[in-house]
A and B are shown apart, each in its own frame.
Chain A
Amino acid sequence: MNISYIILIPAIPLVVFLLLGIFNQRIKPSVSGYVGVFGLLASALMSIYAAYQYFFVSGNVDGVFQTFSQKTVWMNFTDSLHIDMGILIDPISVMMLIVVSVVSLMVHIYSRGYMKGDDGYTKFFAFLSLFTFSMFGLVLATNLFQIYIFWELVGVSSYLLIGYYYTKTSAIAAAKKAFVVTRFADFGFLIGILIVGYYTGTFDFETLNNPEGSAILNWASSSFMGLSALTWALILIFMGGAGKSAMFPLHIWLPDAMEGPTPVSALIHAATMVVAGIFLVARLFPMYYFVDNGFVLNIVTYVGAFSALFAAIIAITQTDIKRVLAFSTMSQLGYMMLALGVSGYDGHEGVGFMASMFHLFTHAMFKALLFLGAGSVIHAVHSNYLKDMGGLRKYMPITNTTFLIAALAISGVPPFAGFWSKDEILVAAFEQDKLIYFVGVFVAGLTAFYMFRIYFGIFWGKDNTYEHTPKESPLSMTFPLLVLAFLSMTVGFIPFSEFISPNKVGFEAHLNYPLAAVATVVGLIGIALAWVFYKKENSLADKWAIGFGMFYKWTSNKFYFDEIYMFVAKKIFFKRVSEPIAKFDRKYVDGTMVGIGNTTVGTSKKIKGLQSGRVQDYAFAFIAGAVVIGLVFIYFWT
């Protein structure tokens, strides 16, 4: 298979970025919008073509999906260690290409309407292109270091985009937080990479992931604190992934990241940034599975499950619709992690891996749809808060319908996309660990509940009176909604297991009817509850909230995690570490140096005083000196 044209997929957004970035001031906004959209359209078309080529024409040889790669040395470390730049084509990277390009294209189209009239219109498109480019580079990476490079670029693009409204203090803080938190996670990631590089002598995925390869066979090369070095490396790499994918406890940046423009939220939450962590674990899945018998996967499972539950609980109480969606993202990402954690490797055991990827795929579609729909609503009412909304179904029919579809999809109602992927995850969890399965089912119910809570809150509920009557958004915004709604309804029918599996051999996955029925029923219960609580304006919800008391307060404050982190950062690191160090430097280190200087000057002043100019003083010194010398001589001679 000829894969050289695939290099164009990331290259086009890069060119667009450079073009728009450098000629920022000289390009008319209308032109820059088109440049961005058409650039990405080209990428998207190529991605689809590549997927077609790979999955249906030349990728599958004797039932095994081949891995193609092309790379060139970018930098040498040692004789064996080097960073390559290149592209790696295998099922998950091709799938990710589609996810990224389609969602990004939709976001681009949508942004043309949403960002109209903004000062930094061109800049916005430049950043979007940079973001897309970084994500393409990340999914196509051939080795750990390349993925790290693009990983960082993804981080910085998110920084730029979250802080897009740079005059808003909250946006600056959010951007900084997102970057620093993910950077902290990257610290772990980087050390993980260093360990892997040192013990295996390579960064290359093909070598690392080969079950018969040296990396996996010799994993137990050196041990540290009871675990092998590679296990530690994988834990640290997972830390990196957890940071980007907003897993507990590194999730705090995600809700704040809502400060960015809504299309950016859609992009971050659906297709780019957050799925990078999932993708990273999936990319290294063979290593995770074989090294130390999948020890690290247990961690992945529990972190994922806990994050899913934790986020779902918080989501129920949030009043900012974007924050609800943010926590729902975190919850769904927890799902994906969980699925990866419970997965096996061969044949049908790999259902978890497949389900995770499947969920990533479907989630990208409906989450993008949810965010863009929310954006459309926010665009109309100029507020993020549920209290300012209600009864909007009359004003915004298209948004209403598409949002409903997305909500149904995420709630796991058949036949929408979310149902299929969530079902596979639950199947995988059921086979592996019953506890995890129950958590999954419970989270599914919660998901349905909070999604419909905001759905009813926005489009039904009380009839708000609006200063400006909300209108349906323009075509440039509704068109992506319609496309994504269509995708959310249909992508669930793709037989994913035939294309994606850990060992790259397709398998048959069947719908497990009892489990599917349970999940569906739980979802429907959630929806029904939401219907009761929020369909009509009533005080039921408030009563329940009071009933939960303390717990409700904790939840709506996100269990005070922000505060804890702020405390650690501000009170401990800034106050207790940084400030003392800065003071210490000025006072003691610098003080010592200045002190040496001052002592010299002081001594010289003293000595200068000795040289008083009074002959008597000199005479005294002379005589006393002569006497002393004489005494010394006599003492030593006799």
Chain B
Amino acid sequence: MERILFYLLALNMISFAIAAVSTRKMLRSVIYLLFVLVGVAGIFFLIDYNFLAAIQLTVYAGGIIVLIIFSVLLVHHIELKLEMAKPKRQIATVIACLLGIGLFLTTIYSYHFNVVENNLTTTTSDIGSKLLSYGEGGFILPFEVISVLLLAAMIGAIIIAKGKKLNPKTHT
């Protein structure tokens, strides 16, 4: 059952991913991405990382996608078709990517992973205490840094997006 679910998810993700990078409609591309992200969340559910899946859904599928959609709507004319790279370039990229996939997979498959059979469930509180612990193996410092980073990013985003006031004189 889980196995079938995984394959479905995988198929879903790959096809939507391909669709996302090859469609010529901007908004569709964003929506396809959304499906991919949801698929990722599904994988998290499958391996029992529910909290992570929730974050994935809220932050990614909820936040980022909405952000991107807004920006698309702001800066893009929806009826326009996206310009694609030259066919030569596309083929070269495809070849490079296939080679890369091959390379990765040979490496992965030639490596023996020491898989530990388990069925542990990770609770949100585990994650929370780990994140906020300042003892050995605690992540309080990165956590704080990320917080500051987010703040900075927020302020930065506002400033950049706000831009300069258009000078009416030069505008006309």
Mark out the residues of chain B between 61 and 105 whose CB falls within 8 Å of any chain A CB in the assembled complex.
Answer: 89, 92-93, 96-97, 99-100, 103
Are the C-beta atoms of A620 and B93 separated by less than 8 Å?
yes
Are the C-beta atoms of B99 and A627 separated by less than 8 Å?
yes
Q: Judge if A623 is at the interface, Cβ distance under 8 Å.
A: yes
Q: Judge if A634 is at the interface, Cβ distance under 8 Å.
A: yes
Q: How large is the interface on A (under 10, 10 to 19, 20 to 34, 35 or more residues)?
A: under 10
Classify the secondary structure of B's interface with A: helix
Q: Which residues of the partner chain A approach B100 to less than 8 Å between Cβ atoms?
A: 623, 626-627, 630
- Chain A 486-522 against B: per-residue CB contact (8 Å), 1 yes, 0 no? 0000000000000000000000000000000000000
Are the C-beta atoms of B96 and A627 separated by less than 8 Å?
yes
> What is the distance, in angstroms, from B83's C-beta to the closest C-beta of chain A?
13
Option from B96, B99, B107 in Cβ contact (under 8 Å) with A620: B96
Are the C-beta atoms of A630 and B103 separated by less than 8 Å?
yes
- Residue on B nearest A630 in the bound complex, by CB: B103
Q: Judge if A631 is at the interface, Cβ distance under 8 Å.
A: yes
Are the C-beta atoms of A623 and B103 separated by less than 8 Å?
no
Q: Judge if B121 is at the interface, Cβ distance under 8 Å.
A: no
- Residue on B nearest A621 in the bound complex, by CB: B96
Q: Which residues of the partner chain B approach A620 to less than 8 Å between Cβ atoms?
A: 89, 92-93, 96
Are the C-beta atoms of A624 and B96 separated by less than 8 Å?
yes
Are the C-beta atoms of A627 and B93 separated by less than 8 Å?
no
Are the C-beta atoms of A631 and B99 separated by less than 8 Å?
yes
Are the C-beta atoms of B96 and A634 separated by less than 8 Å?
no
Are the C-beta atoms of A631 and B96 separated by less than 8 Å?
no
- Chain A 608-638 against B: per-residue CB contact (8 Å), 1 yes, 0 no? 0000000000001001101110110010000
Are the C-beta atoms of B96 and A623 separated by less than 8 Å?
yes
Q: Which residues of the partner chain A approach B99 to less than 8 Å between Cβ atoms?
A: 627-628, 631
Q: Which residues of the partner chain B approach A627 to less than 8 Å between Cβ atoms?
A: 96, 99-100, 103
Interface size on B, residues (CB 8 A): 10
- Residue on B nearest A616 in the bound complex, by CB: B85
Q: How far is the CA of A443 from the CA of B115 in the complex (A)?
A: 123
Are the C-beta atoms of B103 and A634 separated by less than 8 Å?
yes
Q: How far is the CA of A175 from the CA of B75 in the complex (A)?
A: 88
Q: Which residues of the partner chain A approach B96 to less than 8 Å between Cβ atoms?
A: 620, 623-624, 627
Q: How far is the CA of A626 from the CA of B106 in the complex (A)?
A: 15
Mark out the residues of chain A between 443 and 490 whose CB falls within 8 Å of any chain B CB in the assembled complex.
Answer: none
Q: How far is the CA of A620 from the CA of B96 in the complex (A)?
A: 9
Most buried by A among B92, B96, B97, B106: B96
Q: How far is the CA of A628 from the CA of B102 in the complex (A)?
A: 11
> What is the distance, in angstroms, from B52's C-beta to the closest C-beta of chain A?
28
Q: How far is the CA of A601 from the CA of B154 in the complex (A)?
A: 48
Q: Which residues of the partner chain B approach A626 to less than 8 Å between Cβ atoms?
A: 100
- Residue on B nearest A625 in the bound complex, by CB: B96
- Residue on A nearest B103 in the bound complex, by CB: A630
Q: How far is the CA of A164 from the CA of B103 in the complex (A)?
A: 90
Q: How far is the CA of A623 from the CA of B97 in the complex (A)?
A: 8
- Chain A 239-270 against B: per-residue CB contact (8 Å), 1 yes, 0 no? 00000000000000000000000000000000
Option from B89, B93, B107 in Cβ contact (under 8 Å) with A634: B107
> What is the distance, in angstroms, from A580's C-beta to the closest C-beta of chain B?
46
- Residue on A nearest B97 in the bound complex, by CB: A623
- Residue on B nearest A638 in the bound complex, by CB: B110
Mark out the residues of chain B between 87 and 141 whose CB falls within 8 Å of any chain A CB in the assembled complex.
Answer: 89, 92-93, 96-97, 99-100, 103, 106-107
Q: How far is the CA of A634 from the CA of B103 in the complex (A)?
A: 8
Q: Which residues of the partner chain A approach B92 to less than 8 Å between Cβ atoms?
A: 620, 624
Q: How far is the CA of A624 from the CA of B106 in the complex (A)?
A: 17
Q: How far is the CA of A626 from the CA of B104 in the complex (A)?
A: 11
Q: Which residues of the partner chain A approach B89 to less than 8 Å between Cβ atoms?
A: 620
Q: Which residues of the partner chain B approach A623 to less than 8 Å between Cβ atoms?
A: 96-97, 100
Q: How far is the CA of A586 from the CA of B106 in the complex (A)?
A: 59
Q: Which residues of the partner chain A approach B107 to less than 8 Å between Cβ atoms?
A: 630, 634
Q: Which residues of the partner chain A approach B97 to less than 8 Å between Cβ atoms?
A: 623
Q: Which residues of the partner chain B approach A628 to less than 8 Å between Cβ atoms?
A: 99
Q: How far is the CA of A133 from the CA of B92 in the complex (A)?
A: 87
> What is the distance, in angstroms, from A637's C-beta to the closest C-beta of chain B?
10
Q: How far is the CA of A626 from the CA of B107 in the complex (A)?
A: 14
Q: How far is the CA of A201 from the CA of B99 in the complex (A)?
A: 81
Q: Which residues of the partner chain B approach A630 to less than 8 Å between Cβ atoms?
A: 100, 103, 107
Q: How far is the CA of A631 from the CA of B104 in the complex (A)?
A: 10
> What is the distance, in angstroms, from A614's C-beta to the closest C-beta of chain B?
11
Q: How far is the CA of A631 from the CA of B100 in the complex (A)?
A: 9
Q: Which residues of the partner chain B approach A634 to less than 8 Å between Cβ atoms?
A: 103, 106-107
Q: How far is the CA of A620 from the CA of B106 in the complex (A)?
A: 22
Q: How far is the CA of A626 from the CA of B97 in the complex (A)?
A: 11
8 new A-B contacts, CB < 8 A, other than A623-B100, A627-B96, A630-B103, are A620-B96, A624-B92, A627-B103, A628-B99, A630-B107, A631-B99, A631-B103, A634-B107
Q: Can you list 16 A-B contacts (CB < 8 A)?
A: A620-B92, A620-B96, A623-B96, A623-B97, A623-B100, A624-B96, A626-B100, A627-B96, A627-B99, A628-B99, A630-B100, A630-B107, A631-B99, A631-B103, A634-B106, A634-B107
- Which A residues contact B (CB, under 8 angstroms)? 620, 623-624, 626-628, 630-631, 634
Give 3 closest A-B pairs by Cβ, nearest first: A624-B96, A627-B100, A630-B103
